[in-house]
Amino acid sequence: MTIIAVDGPAASGKGTIARALARHYGLPCLDTGLLYRAVGLSVLKAGGDPDHEADALAACDFDAPLLDDPALRSEAVGSLASRVSVHPGVRQALVQRQRDFATQPGGAILDGRDIGTVIAPDADAKIFVTASVHVRARRRYDDALAHGGHPDMDSLIADIQARDTRDMSRDHAPLRMADGADLLDTSDLTIEAAIRQAIALVDAQL
Ligand code: C5P
């Protein structure tokens, strides 16, 4: 059983890298951010307050089809996810689901913020994917343009900085590089080069 942990901040490229690793190693992949996004969206739909732990907890037993809702991908829901994810009860409610996925026969790849530190500290390989705030905002900008949006660079930078600060400074499972993880900075890399480097780092750890 091979477990690979991929962590990093918003728009670092960790999702793209995790999916590429999943194809390369023939492993199933879980984007754990989607679980927190689903909780955030459920709170919104229920008219609750994402900063209120009881409201966020009530949203944790969402139905599985919600994970396919395209609305989960928006920056607004990402920000809601970041707010509900500070509550220890919410994190606890989602732990078992993630560990069950990680420990399935054959292994798995999970990407998120606390995979290498909390969910699977004994993972066989761990990488921490990062990129500068400007590069990450630029990726969001290009993505929004490609989807017909009218993005504003300054507000994208502010959103990413706010999300980084919240994710890194929370008391429970803050975003940080896990012991034994290798750092992969994708700021100056093409997607192809980032994937090649990720495979080389994982191969060296396995
Ligand atoms: O990765 P993504 O941007 O989809 O994650 C949305 C938010 O969910 C993050 O900003 C973070 O606050 C939270 N999250 C988390 N732990 C994870 C994955 C996501 O706290 N393992």
pLDDT tens digits, one per residue of 129-158: 999 999 999 999 999 999 999 999 999 999
Ligand 1 in contact with 82 (CB < 6 A)? yes
Asked if 119 and 98 count as a contact pair (C-beta separation under 8 A), the reply is: yes
pLDDT for res 188? 97
Ligand 1 in contact with 36 (CB < 6 A)? yes
Ligand 1 in contact with 163 (CB < 6 A)? yes
List residues bridging with 127 in a β-sheet: 6, 182
d(CA 134, CA 205): 30
Ligand 1 geometric centre to CA of 97 (Å): 15
Residue range 56-98, pLDDT digits in tens = 999 998 988 999 999 999 888 999 999 999 999 999 999 999 9
d(CA 26, CA 4): 12
pLDDT for res 116? 98
Token look-up 């949203």 returns 59
For the question of an ipTM over 0.95, the answer is yes
pLDDT for res 157? 96
- 3-state DSSP assignment of residue 180: coil
Helix axes 33-45, 75-84, angle to 10 degrees: 90
- What atom in ligand 1 is closest to the CA of residue 82? 12
190: domain range?
A: 2-205
Whole-prediction pTM value?
0.96
Count of residues for the chain? Answer: 206
pLDDT for res 191? 95
pLDDT for res 118? 97
pLDDT for res 168? 96
Question: In the chain, how many domains are there?
Answer: 1
Ligand 1 geometric centre to CA of 33 (Å): 4
CATH of the domain at 26: 3.40.50.300
d(CA 113, CA 178): 10
d(CA 198, CA 203): 8
d(CA 167, CA 2): 27
Residue 117, pLDDT > 90, answer: yes
Say if residue 45 carries a ligand binding annotation: no
Residue range 2-46, pLDDT digits in tens = 999 999 999 999 999 999 999 999 999 999 999 999 999 999 999
Across 11-134, where does the E strand assignment appear?
Answer: 29-31, 107-112, 125-130
d(CA 49, CA 56): 7
Average pLDDT over residues 176-185: 98
Token look-up 């970041």 returns 82
Say if residue 20 carries a ligand binding annotation: no
pLDDT for res 142? 96
Mean pLDDT of the chain: 96
